[in-house]
Amino acid sequence: MGGAELDIDLELLRDFEKGLDPRHPERSAIPASILGYGEISTVFEIGDDRQRGLAYKRLPVFRNGEEVRSYLAAYEEYHRLLSSEIGLRLPGYGHAVLDMPGRPPVVYLAQRRLDPRTIGNRVIHRVGADEAVRLVRQVLRELAGAWRFNRRQDRYQVGIDGQVSNWSVRGLDPASPRLPREIELLYLDTSTPLYRDGGELRLDPELFLRSAPSFLVWLLRLLFLEDVVNRYFDLHLVAVDLVANFHKEQMPELIPALIEEANDFFSGEASDLEVEPLTAREVRSYYREDALIWRLYLAMRRTDRFLRTRLLRRGYPYILPGKIER
């Protein structure tokens, strides 16, 4: 068990895992409350007073202890790089490994649970358009710090998923329609340790494919895996993704102002990074392609779950996201 900041109850996790219903986590022997969905993973809180205030991700993708140790070493190093080297603020975190008889190991990642009203994708729906644009500019500042780190040394290259849902606003009054004068952000998406050490990606990209339907693995590996991973190391594409996801957030009317703000940032404050400007056509095309990939991926995972559980009468260990609006 790691992450000394958090007190993780390992015995409770064992009991939770034994009684987990991945299809309906809220109906498990120890029920779980869903806090949010990503494209691949689900964030939840365990319904037991002993673990209130912790947000969990469950990773049942490892085949043996060696894979777990390699992943957790990269996970810890990614936290160190983000916080100590780059200067991002991170929530308290921890992890636990469950070795159950007759089962492959399962890793539980924990973060200190934050008020959901402070998460970026909730904030932008409550504040005005000007404030949402100001929030995105601060996200770009945080991202620029990571890419300046990448440029000033030649050992590490750090990638980040900059979507607005991966940031929390510190000191935000949830009842206020305005952001603090000085915006301080916490970066949340640390479960995928995206960094290269000496040119080598420390995360095994095959782990991304473990939860994919077996009949799709070869196609995903061939067409999408390298592209999806590499985009998080390209600041231009990270910014495109950040802006394009306002389609997903049902706020496309803000996109022209966000493109203008991003281009002003890259030509001014971050001119040293020499980032190509964003275009409306590029943002639109990127989102259409990205939405299609993830929509098809989730549909195929649901098909795979149906085949395994209903036809083959086997277990399905993954908690799938619910419906994601696009």
- Residue 81's contacts (CB-CB under 8 Å, 6 or more residues apart) are 149, 156, 158, 195
Model confidence pLDDT, tens digit, residues 240-255: 999 999 998 999 999 9
Mean pLDDT by 10 residues, the chain (326 residues): 67 93 89 79 84 90 94 96 98 94 92 94 95 98 98 97 96 90 96 95 84 69 73 96 94 97 98 98 88 71 74 72 60
Q: What confidence score (pLDDT) does residue 324 get? A: 57
Q: What confidence score (pLDDT) does residue 3 get? A: 40
d(CA 17, CA 98): 8
Domains of the chain and CATH, by start: 10-112 (3.30.200), 116-311 (no CATH)
Sort 170 into a burial class: Cβ within 10 Å, 0-12 / 13-18 / 19+.
Answer: middle
Q: What percent of the chain has pLDDT over 70?
A: 90
Q: What confidence score (pLDDT) does residue 4 get? A: 43
d(CA 256, CA 203): 35
* Separation in Å, CA 285 to CA 55, 278, 281, 324: 34, 12, 6, 19
d(CA 235, CA 159): 9
